[in-house]
Amino acid sequence: MAQSLKFRQLIFANRLSTLGLVIVIVSVAPAILFTLFGSSITPYNPYTVNLQQSNLAPSITHFFGTDFEGRDIFARVIAALPIDLGLPIAIVVLSGLIGIFLGMAAGYLGGVVDEIVMRVTDLFLAFPTIIMVLAIAATLGSGLLNAMLAFVFVWWPPYVRLVRGGVLEVCSEDFISISKALNSSFYNIIRKGILPNIAPSVMTYATLDIGTCLLEVSILGFLGVGIPPGTPELGVMVGSISYDLYSYPWQALIPAFVTMLLVLGFSFLGEGAREASDVKVRPYIVFKEKIFGKTPKIKQELVQH
């Protein structure tokens, strides 16, 4: 409990990470509500076409205006949040699990396993990720599931390197050697010795990675590959008006701004988590009297840690 309290204090000590947390919460809440209750939470149905109200400018009636088919842009932005948040999170979780499994196998077993895993990883890292995603998504065809599979197929290599490095570092510690000498099971060494020590760095990287993945998902939608046309997705919304941007700029600028805000939110939150999980940085953050005031007990515990 005390360690969790320290972590929360350190997250809120950084103004940018606090801002990132607020952005993430404000964006996740409507995404969950729309997933549960659908268009009943929006002033208009995001899928209803009304050509008589096409290309309306932002107003009190339509906060963000309407698109070329008369659909309310505010409602479509809300409808896009479950996709633009859910898809990157699913991609990062699945890729992270693959990376953790392969990275642990490479770092702990070493030898031939390490060599094979790392050579395959290097092969994937040799090509630009977005180019590979575009090629795979175009091959698999249109569909959110296909888009997710295209990303997962190429998104795991950084996690392998991160986990492998963490495993090698942890395995060099004496307590792992002692555990092996005491004939501890492979499962217990992984669960109690290795996973708790590499989890903070993996979680921090994953938080940052969600923002990166979100941006590339939007690029995929903008280019019209993988994500079906007409889907309420931020990248698709930007791409659908790119042919006449000067006449109706709000139709592209609003979803683009929302995309930028989401990416910044996860980036700020990830940076705060990185600082909070770094024992070398913690004491310097805590010593900021302007933020914490006089808290000698917490300072002493963190310095000892």
Of the chain, the percentage scoring pLDDT greater than 70 comes to: 83
CB 250 within 8 A of CB 56: no
Q: pLDDT at position 28, please?
A: 93
Among 52-66, 74-88, 147-161, where is mean pLDDT lowest?
A: 52-66
Contact 39, 45 (CB under 8 A): yes
Least confident of 27-31, 59-63, 224-228, 284-288: 284-288
Residue extents of the structural domains in the chain: 2-43+65-304
Average pLDDT over residues 248-259: 91
Rounded distance between C-alpha atoms, residue 260 and residue 295, angstroms: 37
Composition of the chain by helix, strand, coil, percent to 5 = 75, 0, 20
Q: Residue 49: which of 31, 63, 74, 69 has the closest Cα?
A: 69
Instruction: Give every CB contact of residue 295 below 8 A, 6+ residues apart in sequence.
Output: 286
Task: Name which residue leads in pLDDT, 175 or 144.
Answer: 144
Residue (of 1, 6, 2) closest to 275 by Cα position: 6
- Tens digit of each residue's pLDDT (9 = 90 or more) over 177-208: 777 677 676 677 777 778 888 888 898 899 99
pLDDT of 234:
92
3-state DSSP call for residue 151?
helix
Tens-digit pLDDT profile for residues 91-123: 999 999 999 999 999 988 888 999 999 999 999
Rounded CA gap, 40 and 42, in Å?
6
**Is pLDDT of 31 > 90?**
yes
> How many CB atoms lie under 10 A from the CB of residue 251?
25
**What value does the mean pLDDT of the chain take?**
82
Superfamily of domain 2-43+65-304: MetI-like (1.10.3720.10)
DSSP string across 154-213: HH-HHHHHHHHHHHHHHHTSHHHHHHHHTT--HHHIIIIIIHHHHHHHHHHHHHHHHHHH
Name which residue leads in pLDDT, 64 or 280: 64
Percent of the chain exceeding pLDDT 90 equals 43
DSSP 8-state code for residue 226? S
Q: Is the dihedral of CA 59, 60, 64, 65 positive or negative?
A: negative
Instruction: Tell me if residue 66 falls in helix, strand or coil.
Output: strand
pTM, entire model: 0.83
Secondary structure (DSSP) of 86-116? HHHHHHHHHHHHHHHHHHHIIIII-HHHHHH
